[in-house]
Structure 1
Amino acid sequence: MEQKELMGSLKVSKAVAKMAIPSVISSLVTVVYNMADTFFVGQTNDPLQVAAVSLTNPIFILFMAFANMFGMGGSAVASMAMGEKKEERAKNASAFVAYASFFVGIVFAASLLLFMCPLLTLFGADAQTYAFARGYTLHISYGAPFIIWSAAASFVVRADGASREAMIGSMIGTIANIVLDPVFISGFGMGAAGAAIATTIGNILACLYYLWYFMKKSRCLSIAPKDFKCGDGILTGVCVTGFPTAIFSVLMSVSTIILNQILVAYGNAPVAAIGIVFKANMFITFLQLGLANGVQPLLGYNYGAGNRERFIAVDRFTKKCCLIVGILATALFFVFRETIIRLFINDADIIYYGVKMLVAYMLSGPFIGILFVNMNCLQSTGNALPATILSVLRQGLLLIPVLYLLNAVAGLNGVIYGQALTDYVAVILSVVIWNRKKWIC
C-alpha cells in the first residue's frame, strides 16, 4: 500500500488500525521489557534488590525523556515534511534524531559515572540498597546512547509508515532482554547488575536492526552524516515539538524521586511495592499511549496536507478506541490485582502495599488515553506550549505539591492517590484546551 493512500485517503478506521496496532504491540513490548528487570530480580525473593531497581527507575525515565523528545519531535517533523512533499527535510529530521540521541546518551553515561554516589543518595538509596543500586547504575550508564536511540528510532520509523518494522525493532530488544535477564541475574548471580547488562545488550541489538532499516530499506528517511542538519528549523522543530513529551518524562523522573524519598520513610517495602506497581500499571497506560502515538504520523501528515476533516476524524476515532481499551484493561487489572503483584515477588509486606497502590493508580486508567491523544493533536498542529503545560501540570507543578500535601494530611494512604488525582485534572484541562484550539487550526 502506498504511503499517500494510507495517510491521506484510506478509511479512517482501517488507517488507524494499520498504524496503531503495531504501535500498541510495540508499547506492550516496551511494558514487558520494563517489567522484565523487576520480575526477574523479584525471583531472587530479595526485597532489597527489588527496592534498588525501583530507586534507579528515574534514570531510565530520564533516558526516555530524551528518547521521546527526539522520537516524537522527529516523527512529527518528518511526517509533516512528507505531507508537504519536502523529502529532504524528512531525511534531515531522521538524521538529526540519530546523532542527537547518541550525543545525549554519551553525556548521560559520563554524568552517571562521575556523579553516581550523590545521585543514588538523592534517589533515596540507603545503606541496605546502595550497593545493589550502584551495580545497576554502573551497567545501565554505558548503555545510555543505545537505549535512547533505539527508543527514538521506533517513533521515526513509524513516520515512514513502517509500524511493523518499528514493532520488530522493539521486540528484538525486549526478547533479548527477557532471554538474558535470568542468565545474568540468576545464572551468573549478578542480581540487579545483571538486569542492567541484559537491558543494554537488548538495546544494542535493537539499534543494529534500526541501522539496517535506515541504511537498506527506508526510501524517505536517512541517518547518513551528509543528511545531518541542525539549521533550517530542524533542531528547533524536533526539540520544540517533542518537548512536551520530554518534560513529561523529566518531571515523571523528578516526581518518582520525590515519591521514593517520601516512601522510604515508611521502609523499603513500600519502595519496592511502588516499583512493581509502576511497571504493572504501565500496561493500562501504554495500551492507550500506543494508540495515541501510533496515529501521530496520520495526524501530522493530514495537518501538513491541509486535510482538516480527516484530522478530526482520526482524533475522534482514536479517543473512542482509547476509552474502550482503558475500561477493559482497568477492569481486568482490578480483578487480578493481588495475583499481578504476586507474579513479581512472594513477600507479604510488598504484596500488602502493592495491592493498595495498584488500585489507587488504576483509578485514572479508563480515561488517561484522552490526555495522550489531545497532547499528540496539539503537538501535531504546532501547539507545543499548551501540550507542555499539560505535561508540567500532570507530573510536576500539580503532582509534587499534591504528594507532599497528601502525605501531611493522610500519610502513606494519601500519597498513593496523588497520581490519579492529578491525572483527572490533566485530562479535563486537555479536553478544554484542545476543543478551543482545534477550531483555530
Structure 2
Amino acid sequence: MAGTSSTELGTASISKLLIKQAVPASIGILVMSLNIIVDTIFMGRWIGPLAISAIAVVLPFTFFIGAIGLSIGIGGSSVLSRALGAGDNDKALRVFGNMTTLTFLIAGSLAIGGLIFQDQLIGFFGADDSFRDMALVYYRILLYGIVMLALMMMGNNIIRAEGKPKFAMIAMIIPSVGNILMDYLLINVLDLGMQGAAWATFISYASSFSFMVWFFAFKSELRLNVEWLKLKGKIVREIAGLSSVTLARQATISVLTILLNNVLISVGDALDIAAYGIVSRMLMFALFPVIGVTQGFMPIVGYNYGAEKYGRVRETINTSIKYAGALALIIFALIMLFPEGIISVFISNKEGLDAQTIADNNEILKRTPAALRWVFLATPIIVVQLIGGAYFQSIGKAIPALLLSLTKQGFFLIPLILILPQFMGVLGVWVSFPIADVLSTLVTGYFLNREVRRKLIPSAEENTEAIV
C-alpha cells in the first residue's frame, strides 16, 4: 500500500526530498497566508480599520477549533509515517480512521458550544462596543463551517504523510483563491460588509473540504471503511499523546491572542488591536517558507526514524536548519527595510472617507511599523526553535515536544506580556516578542543538540558532530 511515494522518503537525497516536500507545502501556506492577508486588506480598505479589530478578536476561538484538525493531523501523521516506514499498513489505516472520527467529534462539539455562548465569548475575547456587533456577525457565520476547516487541516497532513505534497498544496490553494474571489464579489460588488467577508470564508472551507473528500475517495493510497472509523483506545492514546503537542501550542496561541487583545484595549485602544491584527497576519504570511520547510521536514524525519536510518535523520535536521535559516534572513531584511510600505497596503486612501476613518487610518500608519519591526526582530534565529520542536514531535517523543512547543508563547511570552506593559505601555507588548524568541530558541537549541549527540550519532569518533 505504501507504494513508491512513501518508500522514497527512506532512499532519496535529503536535499531533494526536503525541496520536494517543502516547496508544495510552502506554496500552499503562501496561498493560504495570502488569503488571510487579502481578507484583512479587503476589510481594512472596504469596511474600515475596526473590521480588522473584529476579526482579531474572533480569531482565537475559530483558530483553536481549526487547530483541532491541525493537531490531530500532525500528531496522527507522525504515527502514520512511522507505521508506513515500518511496513505496518493495517495500523496506518486504523490511525487514519481514528484521526477522522476524533476530529469530527471534538471540532463539532466545540462549534456547537461556541454558538450557544457566542455573546459571552465575544466579550471575553476583548471586543468593546465600537466593534462588538461586527465581530459577532463574522464569528457566527464562521462557526457554521468550522468543522469542515478542521477536517481539511487534518487531511492535509495525511496527504503529506503519504508522500503526495502536491495534492496537499492544491487542497490549500483552492480555498484561498476561492475566498479572495468571493471577498471581492460579496464585500466590494454586493456591499455585504462583514456578512460578505464571513460567507466568503465559509464557502472557501466548503470548497477545500470537497476537494479533500474527492482525494481520499479516488487518489489516496489509504482507503477508509467503517471499521477503521471506530475508535480504539491504544490508537487514540498514541494520536492524542502527539497531537497534544500541537494542540497545546495552538491553544496557547489562542490564549495569548485573547490576552493580547485585552491588554491592548486596557493600555491602548481598539486601533492597537487593529495594529496587532495586521502584525499577526504578517507573521502568518511572511514566515510561509520557513513553516513550509518545517512541514516538509516532519514526514522525512518520521519515516527515517521509524526505519532506524538515524544518519538520514541527522542530515535532515542540519539541512532543514540551513535552508530555513537562509529564508528567515531574507524575511528579516524585508521587514526591517519596508515596514511602512507593508502597512500602507492595509489602509484605504480613497476619496470620500469620513473624518473619523481618515484619522483612524493615519493612526494605524503611525503605530504599526514600529510594532512590526519589534515582533520580527529575532526572526533569523527562530528556525532552531521550529525545527527542534518538530523533530521531537516527528519521532514520537510527546513530552519533550510539548514542553518545547510551549516555551515561546507559554513559558516566556505570556508572562512578559503580563509584566512589561505595566511599565512600558503598548511598547511593552511589542518588546515581549523578540525577548521570548531569543529565550525559547536558546532552550530548544540546547535540547535538540543534546538529543542529536546522544541518540543520532552512533560512534565515539562522531561525537563532535551535532546540529549546525
Measured against the shorter chain, the TM-score band is: over 0.9
Q: Is 1:319–1:369's contact at 8 Å kept on the other side of the alignment?
A: yes
For 1:4 and 1:403, the matched residues in 2 are separated by: 44
Partner residue, 2:420: 406
Instruction: Give the direction of change, closer, same or farther, for the CA distance of 1:4–1:215 in structure 2 (3 Å limit).
Output: closer
Tell me which residue corresponds to 1:235: 236
Partner of 2:362: 348
| Residue 417 (str. 1) matches residue 431 (str. 2) | yes
Quick one: which of 96, 99, 102 aligns to 2:101? Answer: 99
Distance 1:203 1:294 in 2: 23
- Structure 2 unaligned runs (5+)? 349-360, 457-468
Cα distance between partner residues in 2 of 1:89 and 1:130: 47
Q: After superposition, give the CA deviation of every residue in 1:70-107 in whole Å (9 maximum; x if it has no partner).
A: 11012111111000101111112222222222222211
The 10-residue stretch of structure 1 (290-299 or 98-107) with the greater mean CA deviation from structure 2: 98-107
User: 2:49, 2:5 → 1: CA distance?
Assistant: 50
1:45 Cα shift? 5.0
Q: 1:84 aligns with which of 86, 90, 94?
A: 86
Aligned to 2:14: 12
User: What number of residue pairs does the alignment pair up?
Assistant: 440
Q: CA deviation at 1:111?
A: 1.2
C-alpha contact 1:33 1:178 (8 A) present in aligned 2:
yes
- 1:26-425 residue pairs with structure 2 within 5 A? 26-44=28-46, 46-219=48-221, 221-231=222-232, 233-265=234-266, 266-346=268-348, 347-425=361-439
1:125-176 deviations in Å (ceiling 9; x for gaps): 1111110000001100111111111112111100000000000010011111
Q: CA RMSD in A?
A: 1.5
Which residue identity is paired with 1:404?
L
Question: 1:185, 1:191 within 8 Å by CA — same for their partners in 2?
Answer: yes
Amino acid at match of 1:330: F
Unaligned runs of at least 5 residues, structure 1: none
The DSSP-based 3-state class of the residue aligned with 1:79 is helix
2-structure distance, mates of 1:275, 1:399: 17
Q: 1:234 to 1:36 in 2, by over 3 A?
A: farther
The 2-side partners of 1:64 and 1:354 are apart by 28
The one-letter code sitting in structure 1 at the alignment partner of 2:133 is: A
Give 3-state SS (helix, strand or coil) of 1:367's partner.
helix
Distance (whole Å) between structure 2 residues aligned to residue 426 and residue 222 of structure 1: 41
Cα separation, 1, equivalents of 2:442 and 2:226: 44
> How far apart are residue 5 of structure 1 and its match?
5.0
Identity %: 28
Q: Shift in Å at residue 286 of structure 1?
A: 2.9
Give the structure 1 partner of residue 455 of structure 2: 440
* 1:181-210 per-position Cα deviation (integer Å, ceiling 9, x unaligned): 122223332222322211121111111111
**TM-score of the superposed pair, with normalisation by structure 2:** 0.91
> 1:392: Cα distance to partner?
2.2
Larger radius of gyration: 2
Q: Report runs of 4+ in structure 1 exceeding 3 Å deviation.
A: none
